Structure 1
Protein backbone atom coordinates (compact mmCIF):
# COMPACT_ATOMS: atom_id res chain seq x y z
CA UNK A 1 0.00 0.00 0.00
CA UNK A 2 2.83 2.35 0.84
CA UNK A 3 4.52 1.60 -2.49
CA UNK A 4 1.37 2.53 -4.41
CA UNK A 5 1.16 5.83 -2.54
CA UNK A 6 4.77 6.65 -3.47
CA UNK A 7 4.13 5.91 -7.16
CA UNK A 8 0.99 8.06 -7.12
CA UNK A 9 2.92 10.88 -5.47
CA UNK A 10 5.66 10.74 -8.09
CA UNK A 11 3.12 10.77 -10.92
CA UNK A 12 1.26 13.73 -9.45
CA UNK A 13 4.57 15.58 -8.95
CA UNK A 14 5.61 14.90 -12.54
CA UNK A 15 2.37 16.28 -13.91
CA UNK A 16 2.43 19.19 -11.52
CA UNK A 17 5.94 20.30 -12.52
CA UNK A 18 6.00 19.34 -16.23
CA UNK A 19 5.46 21.79 -19.09
CA UNK A 20 2.36 21.67 -21.28
CA UNK A 21 2.53 22.55 -25.00
CA UNK A 22 -0.54 23.37 -27.02
CA UNK A 23 -1.06 24.80 -30.53
CA UNK A 24 -3.97 26.27 -32.44
CA UNK A 25 -4.47 26.96 -36.16
CA UNK A 26 -7.16 29.55 -36.90
CA UNK A 27 -8.03 28.27 -40.42
CA UNK A 28 -7.46 25.02 -42.25
CA UNK A 29 -8.75 26.34 -45.58
CA UNK A 30 -7.14 29.47 -47.00
CA UNK A 31 -7.51 31.48 -50.17
CA UNK A 32 -4.38 32.22 -52.20
CA UNK A 33 -2.37 34.81 -50.29
CA UNK A 34 -4.86 34.93 -47.40
CA UNK A 35 -3.13 35.28 -44.00
CA UNK A 36 -3.43 32.47 -41.45
CA UNK A 37 -2.29 32.27 -37.82
CA UNK A 38 -0.62 29.49 -35.86
CA UNK A 39 -0.53 30.04 -32.09
CA UNK A 40 1.84 27.93 -29.93
CA UNK A 41 1.51 28.12 -26.14
CA UNK A 42 3.67 26.52 -23.43
CA UNK A 43 2.60 26.71 -19.77
CA UNK A 44 4.27 25.91 -16.45
CA UNK A 45 7.71 26.96 -17.74
CA UNK A 46 9.18 27.67 -14.31
CA UNK A 47 11.57 30.21 -15.88
CA UNK A 48 13.20 27.59 -18.11
CA UNK A 49 14.59 28.38 -21.57
CA UNK A 50 12.73 27.41 -24.73
CA UNK A 51 14.71 26.42 -27.82
CA UNK A 52 13.07 26.32 -31.26
CA UNK A 53 13.69 27.34 -34.86
CA UNK A 54 14.73 31.01 -35.33
CA UNK A 55 12.22 33.70 -36.16
CA UNK A 56 10.70 33.46 -39.67
CA UNK A 57 12.21 29.97 -40.11
CA UNK A 58 9.74 27.80 -38.21
CA UNK A 59 7.38 26.83 -41.04
CA UNK A 60 8.24 24.77 -44.17
CA UNK A 61 9.15 26.08 -47.62
CA UNK A 62 5.68 26.80 -49.07
CA UNK A 63 4.58 28.91 -46.11
CA UNK A 64 5.56 32.58 -46.47
CA UNK A 65 5.95 33.91 -42.92
CA UNK A 66 4.55 37.45 -42.66
CA UNK A 67 5.07 37.98 -38.94
CA UNK A 68 6.65 35.89 -36.20
CA UNK A 69 6.17 37.22 -32.66
CA UNK A 70 7.43 35.59 -29.43
CA UNK A 71 6.27 36.54 -25.96
CA UNK A 72 8.05 34.72 -23.13
CA UNK A 73 7.18 35.23 -19.47
CA UNK A 74 8.56 33.45 -16.40
CA UNK A 75 5.91 30.73 -16.59
CA UNK A 76 4.51 30.96 -20.13
CA UNK A 77 5.68 31.06 -23.72
CA UNK A 78 3.57 32.26 -26.64
CA UNK A 79 4.58 32.30 -30.28
CA UNK A 80 2.22 33.54 -33.00
CA UNK A 81 3.16 33.06 -36.65
CA UNK A 82 1.19 34.87 -39.33
CA UNK A 83 1.69 33.24 -42.74
CA UNK A 84 0.33 32.98 -46.26
CA UNK A 85 0.58 30.45 -49.10
CA UNK A 86 0.75 31.54 -52.74
CA UNK A 87 0.21 28.14 -54.41
CA UNK A 88 -2.94 26.10 -54.76
CA UNK A 89 -3.03 22.64 -53.19
CA UNK A 90 -2.82 20.77 -49.93
CA UNK A 91 0.06 21.50 -47.58
CA UNK A 92 1.11 20.24 -44.17
CA UNK A 93 2.56 22.02 -41.19
CA UNK A 94 4.55 19.19 -39.61
CA UNK A 95 5.05 18.57 -35.91
CA UNK A 96 7.29 21.41 -34.72
CA UNK A 97 10.07 20.84 -32.15
CA UNK A 98 10.46 22.82 -28.93
CA UNK A 99 13.12 21.92 -26.33
CA UNK A 100 12.86 22.88 -22.68
CA UNK A 101 15.95 22.00 -20.61
CA UNK A 102 16.69 19.05 -22.90
CA UNK A 103 13.09 17.80 -22.95
CA UNK A 104 11.61 17.62 -26.46
CA UNK A 105 8.01 18.71 -26.99
CA UNK A 106 6.20 18.58 -30.33
CA UNK A 107 3.12 20.30 -31.72
CA UNK A 108 0.46 18.35 -33.56
CA UNK A 109 0.68 18.49 -37.42
CA UNK A 110 -1.94 20.43 -39.43
CA UNK A 111 -3.23 19.92 -42.96
CA UNK A 112 -4.09 23.08 -44.87
CA UNK A 113 -5.91 23.42 -48.19
CA UNK A 114 -5.21 26.49 -50.31
CA UNK A 115 -7.79 27.41 -52.94
CA UNK A 116 -8.03 30.01 -55.69
CA UNK A 117 -11.18 32.04 -55.07
CA UNK A 118 -10.89 34.14 -58.23
CA UNK A 119 -13.54 33.47 -60.89
CA UNK A 120 -12.82 33.27 -64.61
CA UNK A 121 -14.90 36.37 -65.44
CA UNK A 122 -13.69 38.51 -62.52
CA UNK A 123 -12.54 41.95 -63.55
CA UNK A 124 -9.14 42.93 -62.23
CA UNK A 125 -8.69 46.60 -61.49
CA UNK A 126 -5.36 48.27 -60.92
CA UNK A 127 -5.01 49.84 -57.53
CA UNK A 128 -3.40 52.88 -59.12
CA UNK A 129 -2.40 53.95 -62.62
CA UNK A 130 1.13 53.34 -63.84
CA UNK A 131 3.38 56.32 -63.42
CA UNK A 132 5.94 57.46 -66.00
CA UNK A 133 9.34 58.14 -64.52
CA UNK A 134 11.77 60.34 -66.43
CA UNK A 135 15.42 59.40 -65.98
CA UNK A 136 18.33 61.76 -66.52
CA UNK A 137 22.02 61.03 -67.18
CA UNK A 138 22.80 60.80 -63.46
CA UNK A 139 20.09 58.17 -62.97
CA UNK A 140 21.43 56.05 -65.84
CA UNK A 141 24.96 56.43 -64.43
CA UNK A 142 23.82 55.16 -61.03
CA UNK A 143 22.08 52.20 -62.69
CA UNK A 144 24.89 51.15 -65.02
CA UNK A 145 28.08 52.62 -63.55
CA UNK A 146 29.46 49.27 -62.33
CA UNK A 147 28.94 47.68 -65.76
CA UNK A 148 30.68 50.63 -67.44
CA UNK A 149 33.57 50.59 -64.96
CA UNK A 150 33.89 46.82 -65.38
CA UNK A 151 34.14 47.15 -69.18
CA UNK A 152 36.72 49.95 -68.86
CA UNK A 153 38.83 47.91 -66.43
CA UNK A 154 38.66 44.88 -68.75
CA UNK A 155 39.77 47.00 -71.74
CA UNK A 156 42.62 48.46 -69.67
CA UNK A 157 43.81 44.98 -68.65
CA UNK A 158 43.67 43.77 -72.27
CA UNK A 159 45.65 46.85 -73.41
CA UNK A 160 48.32 46.33 -70.71
CA UNK A 161 48.67 42.62 -71.60
CA UNK A 162 48.98 43.52 -75.30
CA UNK A 163 51.67 46.11 -74.58
CA UNK A 164 53.60 43.68 -72.37
CA UNK A 165 53.54 41.00 -75.08
CA UNK A 166 54.49 43.52 -77.74
CA UNK A 167 57.31 44.92 -75.61
CA UNK A 168 58.54 41.43 -74.76
CA UNK A 169 58.68 40.42 -78.43
CA UNK A 170 60.36 43.67 -79.42
CA UNK A 171 62.90 43.31 -76.64
CA UNK A 172 63.79 39.75 -77.63
CA UNK A 173 64.21 40.73 -81.30
CA UNK A 174 66.12 43.94 -80.56
CA UNK A 175 69.43 44.05 -82.56
CA UNK A 176 71.49 44.91 -79.47
CA UNK A 177 69.96 42.01 -77.52
CA UNK A 178 70.73 39.61 -80.36
CA UNK A 179 74.28 40.99 -80.64
CA UNK A 180 74.99 40.52 -76.93
CA UNK A 181 73.52 37.04 -76.95
CA UNK A 182 75.73 36.00 -79.89
CA UNK A 183 78.84 37.50 -78.27
CA UNK A 184 78.13 35.37 -75.21
CA UNK A 185 77.87 32.26 -77.41
CA UNK A 186 81.21 33.14 -79.03
CA UNK A 187 82.83 33.49 -75.59
CA UNK A 188 81.51 30.04 -74.66
CA UNK A 189 83.05 28.68 -77.86
CA UNK A 190 86.40 30.23 -77.00
CA UNK A 191 86.35 28.66 -73.53
CA UNK A 192 86.17 25.19 -75.10
CA UNK A 193 89.88 25.67 -76.07
CA UNK A 194 89.42 24.26 -79.59
CA UNK A 195 92.03 26.78 -80.83
CA UNK A 196 94.63 25.85 -78.21
CA UNK A 197 93.99 22.12 -78.73
CA UNK A 198 94.16 22.42 -82.53
CA UNK A 199 90.66 20.99 -82.91
CA UNK A 200 89.99 23.05 -86.04
CA UNK A 201 87.11 21.01 -87.41
CA UNK A 202 84.86 21.35 -84.32
CA UNK A 203 85.90 24.99 -83.99
CA UNK A 204 84.71 25.93 -87.51
CA UNK A 205 81.57 23.78 -87.28
CA UNK A 206 80.40 25.59 -84.14
CA UNK A 207 81.63 29.00 -85.30
CA UNK A 208 79.63 28.77 -88.53
CA UNK A 209 76.54 27.44 -86.71
CA UNK A 210 76.58 30.41 -84.32
CA UNK A 211 77.04 32.82 -87.23
CA UNK A 212 74.27 31.27 -89.33
CA UNK A 213 71.82 31.54 -86.44
CA UNK A 214 72.89 35.16 -85.86
CA UNK A 215 72.45 36.17 -89.52
CA UNK A 216 69.03 34.50 -89.62
CA UNK A 217 67.70 36.43 -86.64
CA UNK A 218 69.57 39.71 -87.05
CA UNK A 219 69.18 40.21 -90.81
CA UNK A 220 66.12 38.01 -91.48
CA UNK A 221 68.11 36.03 -94.04
CA UNK A 222 67.53 32.22 -93.97
CA UNK A 223 71.22 31.45 -93.37
CA UNK A 224 70.32 28.36 -91.33
CA UNK A 225 68.97 26.54 -94.43
CA UNK A 226 71.09 27.94 -97.27
CA UNK A 227 74.30 26.39 -98.57
CA UNK A 228 77.38 28.57 -98.29
CA UNK A 229 77.47 29.62 -101.97
CA UNK A 230 73.74 30.40 -101.96
CA UNK A 231 74.05 32.34 -98.73
CA UNK A 232 76.86 34.50 -100.12
CA UNK A 233 74.79 35.25 -103.24
CA UNK A 234 71.75 36.21 -101.14
CA UNK A 235 73.86 38.48 -98.91
CA UNK A 236 75.27 40.29 -101.93
CA UNK A 237 71.83 40.79 -103.42
CA UNK A 238 70.27 41.80 -100.11
CA UNK A 239 72.24 45.07 -99.71
CA UNK A 240 71.63 45.06 -95.96
CA UNK A 241 75.06 43.86 -94.88
CA UNK A 242 77.97 46.25 -95.47
CA UNK A 243 80.75 45.38 -97.91
CA UNK A 244 83.22 44.89 -95.05
CA UNK A 245 80.91 42.47 -93.28
CA UNK A 246 80.10 40.67 -96.54
CA UNK A 247 83.80 39.98 -97.13
CA UNK A 248 84.29 38.73 -93.55
CA UNK A 249 81.37 36.29 -93.88
CA UNK A 250 82.45 35.10 -97.34
CA UNK A 251 86.10 34.47 -96.36
CA UNK A 252 85.34 32.65 -93.10
CA UNK A 253 82.45 30.58 -94.46
CA UNK A 254 84.44 29.43 -97.50
CA UNK A 255 87.45 28.59 -95.31
CA UNK A 256 85.17 26.82 -92.83
CA UNK A 257 83.75 24.59 -95.57
CA UNK A 258 87.26 23.69 -96.75
CA UNK A 259 88.24 22.82 -93.16
CA UNK A 260 85.12 20.68 -92.63
CA UNK A 261 85.88 18.67 -95.76
CA UNK A 262 89.57 18.35 -94.80
CA UNK A 263 90.86 20.35 -97.77
CA UNK A 264 92.82 22.85 -95.68
CA UNK A 265 94.41 22.65 -92.24
CA UNK A 266 94.55 26.03 -90.50
CA UNK A 267 96.95 26.80 -87.71
CA UNK A 268 96.13 28.44 -84.37
CA UNK A 269 96.80 31.94 -85.70
CA UNK A 270 94.32 31.48 -88.58
CA UNK A 271 91.67 30.19 -86.18
CA UNK A 272 92.27 33.05 -83.76
CA UNK A 273 92.07 35.62 -86.57
CA UNK A 274 88.80 34.15 -87.89
CA UNK A 275 87.32 34.17 -84.39
CA UNK A 276 88.20 37.84 -83.86
CA UNK A 277 86.95 38.77 -87.34
CA UNK A 278 83.60 37.08 -86.71
CA UNK A 279 83.33 38.75 -83.31
CA UNK A 280 83.94 42.15 -84.93
CA UNK A 281 81.30 41.40 -87.58
CA UNK A 282 78.72 40.66 -84.86
CA UNK A 283 79.53 43.95 -83.12
CA UNK A 284 79.28 45.92 -86.38
CA UNK A 285 75.96 44.36 -87.38
CA UNK A 286 73.83 46.90 -85.50
CA UNK A 287 75.31 49.66 -87.69
CA UNK A 288 74.19 47.76 -90.79
CA UNK A 289 70.64 47.73 -89.45
CA UNK A 290 70.74 51.42 -88.54
CA UNK A 291 71.81 52.30 -92.09
CA UNK A 292 69.07 50.06 -93.51
CA UNK A 293 66.44 51.76 -91.36
CA UNK A 294 67.58 55.20 -92.53
CA UNK A 295 67.57 54.04 -96.14
CA UNK A 296 64.08 52.58 -96.03
CA UNK A 297 62.66 55.28 -93.71
CA UNK A 298 61.38 52.73 -91.16
Structure 2
Protein backbone atom coordinates (compact mmCIF):
# COMPACT_ATOMS: atom_id res chain seq x y z
CA UNK A 1 0.00 0.00 0.00
CA UNK A 2 2.80 2.40 0.92
CA UNK A 3 4.70 1.56 -2.24
CA UNK A 4 1.61 2.29 -4.32
CA UNK A 5 1.23 5.76 -2.73
CA UNK A 6 4.88 6.49 -3.37
CA UNK A 7 4.48 5.55 -7.06
CA UNK A 8 1.45 7.84 -7.48
CA UNK A 9 3.28 10.75 -5.82
CA UNK A 10 6.28 10.18 -8.11
CA UNK A 11 4.13 10.23 -11.23
CA UNK A 12 2.34 13.42 -10.15
CA UNK A 13 5.64 15.09 -9.36
CA UNK A 14 7.09 14.04 -12.75
CA UNK A 15 4.06 15.39 -14.53
CA UNK A 16 4.31 18.66 -12.63
CA UNK A 17 8.02 19.08 -13.28
CA UNK A 18 8.45 17.76 -16.84
CA UNK A 19 5.05 18.21 -18.63
CA UNK A 20 3.86 21.21 -20.60
CA UNK A 21 0.75 23.16 -19.69
CA UNK A 22 -1.69 24.19 -22.47
CA UNK A 23 -4.27 26.83 -21.69
CA UNK A 24 -6.75 28.85 -23.77
CA UNK A 25 -8.89 31.91 -23.23
CA UNK A 26 -11.83 33.39 -25.15
CA UNK A 27 -12.42 37.09 -24.49
CA UNK A 28 -16.24 36.91 -24.93
CA UNK A 29 -18.82 34.21 -25.64
CA UNK A 30 -21.56 36.51 -26.96
CA UNK A 31 -20.76 38.48 -30.08
CA UNK A 32 -22.69 40.87 -32.31
CA UNK A 33 -22.77 40.15 -36.03
CA UNK A 34 -19.31 40.94 -37.39
CA UNK A 35 -17.94 41.91 -33.98
CA UNK A 36 -14.32 40.72 -33.50
CA UNK A 37 -13.57 38.07 -30.88
CA UNK A 38 -10.16 36.94 -29.62
CA UNK A 39 -9.01 33.42 -28.78
CA UNK A 40 -5.66 33.11 -26.99
CA UNK A 41 -3.73 29.82 -26.71
CA UNK A 42 -0.68 29.50 -24.43
CA UNK A 43 1.70 26.61 -23.83
CA UNK A 44 4.18 26.90 -20.96
CA UNK A 45 7.21 24.80 -19.88
CA UNK A 46 7.86 24.06 -23.52
CA UNK A 47 11.55 23.22 -23.00
CA UNK A 48 12.37 24.07 -26.64
CA UNK A 49 10.10 21.35 -27.99
CA UNK A 50 8.38 21.53 -31.38
CA UNK A 51 4.73 22.58 -31.58
CA UNK A 52 2.59 21.61 -34.54
CA UNK A 53 -0.94 22.85 -35.26
CA UNK A 54 -3.16 23.89 -38.16
CA UNK A 55 -1.62 26.52 -40.50
CA UNK A 56 -2.30 30.21 -40.05
CA UNK A 57 -5.89 31.29 -40.79
CA UNK A 58 -7.01 27.63 -40.90
CA UNK A 59 -7.37 26.77 -37.20
CA UNK A 60 -11.03 27.69 -36.66
CA UNK A 61 -14.10 26.03 -38.29
CA UNK A 62 -15.91 27.25 -41.40
CA UNK A 63 -18.25 29.90 -39.91
CA UNK A 64 -15.44 31.72 -38.13
CA UNK A 65 -13.84 34.36 -40.39
CA UNK A 66 -10.26 34.74 -39.18
CA UNK A 67 -9.15 38.37 -39.25
CA UNK A 68 -5.70 37.96 -37.76
CA UNK A 69 -3.65 34.91 -36.68
CA UNK A 70 -0.32 35.54 -34.95
CA UNK A 71 2.09 32.93 -33.54
CA UNK A 72 4.92 33.63 -31.11
CA UNK A 73 7.26 30.85 -29.96
CA UNK A 74 10.03 31.14 -27.35
CA UNK A 75 12.29 28.53 -25.74
CA UNK A 76 9.79 27.76 -22.96
CA UNK A 77 6.51 29.16 -24.28
CA UNK A 78 4.20 29.21 -27.27
CA UNK A 79 1.47 31.80 -27.86
CA UNK A 80 -1.11 31.96 -30.61
CA UNK A 81 -3.65 34.78 -30.78
CA UNK A 82 -6.52 34.55 -33.24
CA UNK A 83 -8.87 37.44 -33.96
CA UNK A 84 -12.09 36.35 -35.67
CA UNK A 85 -15.64 37.36 -36.52
CA UNK A 86 -18.89 35.57 -37.37
CA UNK A 87 -21.35 37.01 -39.89
CA UNK A 88 -24.34 34.73 -39.23
CA UNK A 89 -26.77 34.71 -36.32
CA UNK A 90 -26.94 31.59 -34.15
CA UNK A 91 -24.95 29.43 -31.80
CA UNK A 92 -21.56 28.14 -32.86
CA UNK A 93 -18.84 26.03 -31.29
CA UNK A 94 -15.10 26.33 -31.34
CA UNK A 95 -14.19 22.64 -30.91
CA UNK A 96 -11.23 21.27 -29.00
CA UNK A 97 -8.22 22.27 -31.09
CA UNK A 98 -5.33 19.87 -31.67
CA UNK A 99 -1.72 20.75 -30.85
CA UNK A 100 1.18 18.31 -30.98
CA UNK A 101 4.17 18.88 -28.73
CA UNK A 102 7.06 16.69 -29.88
CA UNK A 103 4.47 14.31 -31.35
CA UNK A 104 2.30 14.25 -28.22
CA UNK A 105 -1.31 15.32 -28.84
CA UNK A 106 -2.89 17.88 -26.52
CA UNK A 107 -6.22 19.68 -26.95
CA UNK A 108 -7.79 22.96 -25.92
CA UNK A 109 -11.20 23.04 -24.26
CA UNK A 110 -14.20 23.76 -26.56
CA UNK A 111 -16.14 27.04 -26.43
CA UNK A 112 -19.76 27.82 -27.27
CA UNK A 113 -20.40 31.21 -28.84
CA UNK A 114 -23.71 32.96 -29.47
CA UNK A 115 -23.87 35.49 -32.29
CA UNK A 116 -26.73 38.02 -32.18
CA UNK A 117 -28.01 40.78 -34.41
CA UNK A 118 -27.99 43.96 -32.35
CA UNK A 119 -29.80 46.05 -34.98
CA UNK A 120 -33.40 46.79 -34.04
CA UNK A 121 -36.32 47.22 -36.41
CA UNK A 122 -36.74 50.88 -37.30
CA UNK A 123 -33.16 51.83 -36.45
CA UNK A 124 -31.86 54.64 -38.63
CA UNK A 125 -28.82 53.62 -40.62
CA UNK A 126 -26.33 56.40 -41.17
CA UNK A 127 -23.56 56.28 -43.73
CA UNK A 128 -20.10 56.64 -42.29
CA UNK A 129 -19.31 59.12 -45.05
CA UNK A 130 -21.63 61.14 -47.24
CA UNK A 131 -21.72 60.25 -50.89
CA UNK A 132 -19.49 62.45 -53.00
CA UNK A 133 -20.37 63.64 -56.48
CA UNK A 134 -17.46 63.02 -58.82
CA UNK A 135 -17.14 64.89 -62.11
CA UNK A 136 -16.22 62.52 -64.92
CA UNK A 137 -14.02 63.60 -67.80
CA UNK A 138 -13.78 62.36 -71.37
CA UNK A 139 -11.10 59.82 -70.39
CA UNK A 140 -13.35 58.42 -67.63
CA UNK A 141 -16.27 57.97 -70.01
CA UNK A 142 -13.93 56.38 -72.56
CA UNK A 143 -12.74 53.82 -70.01
CA UNK A 144 -16.37 53.04 -69.07
CA UNK A 145 -17.79 52.69 -72.57
CA UNK A 146 -14.81 52.06 -74.86
CA UNK A 147 -15.69 48.41 -75.55
CA UNK A 148 -19.28 49.34 -76.49
CA UNK A 149 -18.02 52.11 -78.79
CA UNK A 150 -15.42 49.83 -80.40
CA UNK A 151 -18.06 47.12 -80.87
CA UNK A 152 -20.41 49.56 -82.65
CA UNK A 153 -17.57 50.85 -84.87
CA UNK A 154 -16.55 47.30 -85.81
CA UNK A 155 -20.17 46.43 -86.63
CA UNK A 156 -20.55 49.54 -88.81
CA UNK A 157 -17.27 48.74 -90.56
CA UNK A 158 -18.45 45.19 -91.32
CA UNK A 159 -21.77 46.48 -92.68
CA UNK A 160 -19.91 48.98 -94.91
CA UNK A 161 -17.52 46.29 -96.19
CA UNK A 162 -20.38 43.88 -96.97
CA UNK A 163 -22.29 46.67 -98.76
CA UNK A 164 -19.25 47.56 -100.87
CA UNK A 165 -18.62 43.92 -101.75
CA UNK A 166 -22.22 43.47 -102.89
CA UNK A 167 -22.11 46.74 -104.81
CA UNK A 168 -18.80 45.80 -106.41
CA UNK A 169 -20.11 42.36 -107.34
CA UNK A 170 -23.16 43.82 -109.05
CA UNK A 171 -21.10 46.46 -110.83
CA UNK A 172 -18.59 43.87 -111.97
CA UNK A 173 -21.28 41.66 -113.46
CA UNK A 174 -22.82 44.57 -115.36
CA UNK A 175 -19.53 46.21 -116.30
CA UNK A 176 -19.41 46.96 -120.06
CA UNK A 177 -15.88 45.60 -120.24
CA UNK A 178 -17.07 42.26 -118.89
CA UNK A 179 -19.80 41.99 -121.53
CA UNK A 180 -17.38 43.12 -124.24
CA UNK A 181 -14.81 40.47 -123.36
CA UNK A 182 -17.45 37.77 -123.14
CA UNK A 183 -18.79 38.64 -126.61
CA UNK A 184 -15.30 38.73 -128.10
CA UNK A 185 -14.75 35.20 -126.79
CA UNK A 186 -18.01 34.09 -128.42
CA UNK A 187 -16.86 35.62 -131.73
CA UNK A 188 -13.57 33.73 -131.49
CA UNK A 189 -15.50 30.48 -130.96
CA UNK A 190 -17.51 31.29 -134.08
CA UNK A 191 -14.29 31.92 -136.03
CA UNK A 192 -12.92 28.52 -134.99
CA UNK A 193 -15.91 26.76 -136.60
CA UNK A 194 -14.37 27.61 -140.01
CA UNK A 195 -17.67 28.71 -141.57
CA UNK A 196 -15.80 31.35 -143.56
CA UNK A 197 -13.19 28.94 -144.93
CA UNK A 198 -15.86 26.34 -145.72
CA UNK A 199 -18.14 28.87 -147.42
CA UNK A 200 -20.99 28.06 -145.00
CA UNK A 201 -22.31 31.61 -145.17
CA UNK A 202 -25.83 30.86 -143.89
CA UNK A 203 -24.67 29.28 -140.61
CA UNK A 204 -22.07 32.02 -140.25
CA UNK A 205 -24.56 34.89 -140.48
CA UNK A 206 -27.20 33.17 -138.33
CA UNK A 207 -24.75 32.73 -135.44
CA UNK A 208 -23.09 36.13 -135.99
CA UNK A 209 -26.44 37.93 -135.79
CA UNK A 210 -27.52 35.91 -132.73
CA UNK A 211 -24.29 36.85 -130.90
CA UNK A 212 -24.73 40.50 -131.87
CA UNK A 213 -28.41 40.64 -130.83
CA UNK A 214 -27.57 39.19 -127.45
CA UNK A 215 -24.71 41.68 -127.04
CA UNK A 216 -26.85 44.73 -127.94
CA UNK A 217 -29.58 43.56 -125.54
CA UNK A 218 -27.25 43.29 -122.56
CA UNK A 219 -24.78 46.07 -123.34
CA UNK A 220 -27.17 48.79 -124.52
CA UNK A 221 -30.40 47.61 -122.85
CA UNK A 222 -32.14 47.53 -126.24
CA UNK A 223 -34.40 44.46 -126.81
CA UNK A 224 -32.56 43.38 -129.94
CA UNK A 225 -33.30 39.72 -129.23
CA UNK A 226 -37.04 40.18 -129.93
CA UNK A 227 -37.07 42.92 -132.57
CA UNK A 228 -37.15 42.50 -136.32
CA UNK A 229 -34.17 43.93 -138.18
CA UNK A 230 -35.96 47.01 -139.50
CA UNK A 231 -37.46 47.81 -136.07
CA UNK A 232 -34.10 47.30 -134.39
CA UNK A 233 -32.36 49.69 -136.81
CA UNK A 234 -35.05 52.34 -136.26
CA UNK A 235 -34.77 52.11 -132.46
CA UNK A 236 -30.97 52.27 -132.57
CA UNK A 237 -31.15 55.46 -134.64
CA UNK A 238 -33.72 57.00 -132.28
CA UNK A 239 -31.90 55.89 -129.15
CA UNK A 240 -28.68 57.81 -129.88
CA UNK A 241 -26.71 55.56 -127.54
CA UNK A 242 -24.76 53.86 -130.30
CA UNK A 243 -22.38 56.04 -132.27
CA UNK A 244 -23.10 56.68 -135.99
CA UNK A 245 -20.11 54.58 -137.07
CA UNK A 246 -21.34 51.63 -135.02
CA UNK A 247 -24.91 52.17 -136.24
CA UNK A 248 -23.65 51.86 -139.84
CA UNK A 249 -21.84 48.59 -139.07
CA UNK A 250 -24.94 47.09 -137.42
CA UNK A 251 -27.27 48.22 -140.21
CA UNK A 252 -25.07 46.88 -143.02
CA UNK A 253 -24.38 43.48 -141.41
CA UNK A 254 -27.96 42.89 -140.23
CA UNK A 255 -29.46 43.74 -143.61
CA UNK A 256 -26.91 41.55 -145.39
CA UNK A 257 -27.51 38.76 -142.90
CA UNK A 258 -31.27 38.80 -143.61
CA UNK A 259 -30.63 38.66 -147.35
CA UNK A 260 -28.29 35.69 -146.85
CA UNK A 261 -30.81 33.82 -144.68
CA UNK A 262 -33.47 34.23 -147.36
CA UNK A 263 -31.02 33.21 -150.15
CA UNK A 264 -31.18 36.54 -151.88
CA UNK A 265 -27.43 37.15 -151.81
CA UNK A 266 -24.40 34.86 -151.74
CA UNK A 267 -21.41 36.51 -150.04
CA UNK A 268 -17.89 35.33 -150.68
CA UNK A 269 -15.21 34.64 -148.08
CA UNK A 270 -13.92 38.21 -148.21
CA UNK A 271 -17.38 39.65 -147.46
CA UNK A 272 -17.79 37.25 -144.54
CA UNK A 273 -14.36 38.07 -143.16
CA UNK A 274 -14.98 41.82 -143.49
CA UNK A 275 -18.32 41.54 -141.66
CA UNK A 276 -16.70 39.47 -138.91
CA UNK A 277 -13.92 42.05 -138.48
CA UNK A 278 -16.39 44.93 -138.51
CA UNK A 279 -18.52 43.25 -135.85
CA UNK A 280 -15.45 42.77 -133.61
CA UNK A 281 -14.66 46.46 -134.08
CA UNK A 282 -18.22 47.40 -133.06
CA UNK A 283 -18.02 45.23 -129.92
CA UNK A 284 -14.68 46.71 -128.90
CA UNK A 285 -15.93 50.29 -129.41
CA UNK A 286 -19.18 49.72 -127.50
CA UNK A 287 -17.69 50.65 -124.11
CA UNK A 288 -16.71 54.01 -125.59
CA UNK A 289 -20.33 54.54 -126.64
CA UNK A 290 -21.48 53.90 -123.08
CA UNK A 291 -18.88 56.22 -121.57
CA UNK A 292 -20.07 59.04 -123.79
CA UNK A 293 -23.70 58.26 -122.92
CA UNK A 294 -22.93 58.36 -119.19
CA UNK A 295 -21.23 61.74 -119.56
CA UNK A 296 -24.14 63.05 -121.58
CA UNK A 297 -26.82 61.91 -119.13
CA UNK A 298 -24.76 62.57 -115.99
CA UNK A 299 -25.16 58.98 -114.71
Task: State TM-score, norm by structure 1.
Answer: 0.55
Runs of 4+ off more than 6 Å = 31-35, 82-86, 115-119
Shift in Å, 1:143: 1.0
1:175 is the counterpart of 2:172: no
Counterpart of 1:161 in structure 2 is 162
Distance in 2, Cα, partners of 1:34 & 1:277 = 105
Distance in 2, Cα, partners of 1:257 & 1:116 = 109
Shift in Å, 1:133: 1.9
Secondary structure at the residue paired with 2:225?
Answer: coil
Distance in 2, Cα, partners of 1:222 & 1:116 = 93
148-157 or 117-126: bigger deviation: 117-126
Cα offsets for 1:107-146 (capped at 9, x unmatched): xxxxxxxx99977645444444332222111100111122
Structure 1's 227 and 85: CA in aligned 2 closer, same or farther, altered over 3 A? farther
Task: Return 5+ residue gaps in structure 1 as ranges.
Answer: 1-30, 36-62, 70-81, 89-114
1:146 is the counterpart of 2:140: no
Larger Rg: 2
Cα offsets for 1:208-239 (capped at 9, x unmatched): 22212221232222223333232211101011
Counterpart of 1:253 in structure 2 is 254
Distance in 1, Cα, partners of 2:249 & 2:34 = 97
Task: Return 5+ residue gaps in structure 2 as ranges.
Answer: 1-31, 37-62, 70-83, 90-115
Distance in 1, Cα, partners of 2:35 & 2:184 = 89
Secondary structure at the residue paired with 1:292?
Answer: helix
Structure 1's 294 and 32: CA in aligned 2 closer, same or farther, altered over 3 A? same
Counterpart of 1:220 in structure 2 is 221
Distance in 2, Cα, partners of 1:276 & 1:160 = 43
Distance in 2, Cα, partners of 1:83 & 1:223 = 95
Secondary structure at the residue paired with 1:179?
Answer: helix
Distance in 1, Cα, partners of 2:262 & 2:120 = 106
1:131 is the counterpart of 2:166: no
Structure 1's 212 and 117: CA in aligned 2 closer, same or farther, altered over 3 A? farther
Distance in 2, Cα, partners of 1:253 & 1:229 = 9
Secondary structure at the residue paired with 1:231?
Answer: helix
Distance in 2, Cα, partners of 1:205 & 1:85 = 99
Distance in 2, Cα, partners of 1:174 & 1:33 = 79
Secondary structure at the residue paired with 1:225?
Answer: coil
Secondary structure at the residue paired with 2:180?
Answer: helix
Structure 1's 119 and 258: CA in aligned 2 closer, same or farther, altered over 3 A? farther
Structure 1's 117 and 200: CA in aligned 2 closer, same or farther, altered over 3 A? farther
